[in-house]
Homo-oligomer: A and B are copies of this chain.
Amino acid sequence: MATTELFIKMTFDRWNGSITNLNAILNSLTDETLQKEIAPGKNRGIYLLGHLIAVHDEMLKLLDLGEKLYPELYEPFIKSPDKTVTQIPTAAELRSFWTKQCEVLKQKFDSLKPEDWFEKHTAVSAEDFANEPHRNKLNIIITRTSHLQYHSGQLVLLK
């Protein structure tokens, strides 16, 4: 296997493993439990799920893979802290968004050729990218895997 393909596989094995892990956590929690705070005074499970969907939606823009699926989630789940927005989707709706989004992301990721992953993402200028070639599309997968793991370690506390 060429080094490029090998590194892409290593990166996506970790991304996919983290998605699988979060799915197992979500499947072990009821909608009622998702309404609870992960620790006293901290974010609710439902907020973290909405936050993950909103952040993963940003990936579509960063990777130049089309429009967001759920742009309405930016305001309540990224811009606003938990418990400050009263109108948010139900746990059942967010679960359905999450499942759909995982499918769409997988399909879109699979459509990229290995070399595409080493192109610049959309939030870096061509000038900066010339000096900082690590700011490529694959790096978005690496950093969002870290983010997903961070919040998975919190959601698991609801079990």
Contact = CB atoms under 8 A, between A and B. Distances in A.
A35 to B, nearest CB: 16
Interface stretch (A60-68, A100-108, A119-127, A138-146): A138-146
A7 interface: yes
Nearest to A11: B142
Interface residues of A, number: 33
Contact of A39 (B1, B6, B39, B139): B39
B142 A14 contact: yes
Interface in A22-57: 38-40, 42
Given A1-B133, A3-B3, A150-B150, A14 B143 contact: yes
A92 interface: no
A13 interface: yes
B157 A42 contact: yes
Contacts of A133: 1, 6
A4 B133 CA distance: 12
Interface of A: 1, 3-4, 6-7, 9-11, 13-14, 17-18, 38-40, 42, 118, 133-134, 138-139, 142-143, 145-147, 149-154, 157
Given A1-B133, A18-B146, A157-B157, 20 more contacts: A3-B4, A3-B118, A7-B7, A9-B134, A10-B134, A10-B138, A10-B142, A13-B134, A14-B142, A14-B143, A38-B39, A38-B157, A39-B39, A40-B40, A146-B149, A149-B149, A151-B153, A153-B153, A153-B154, A154-B157
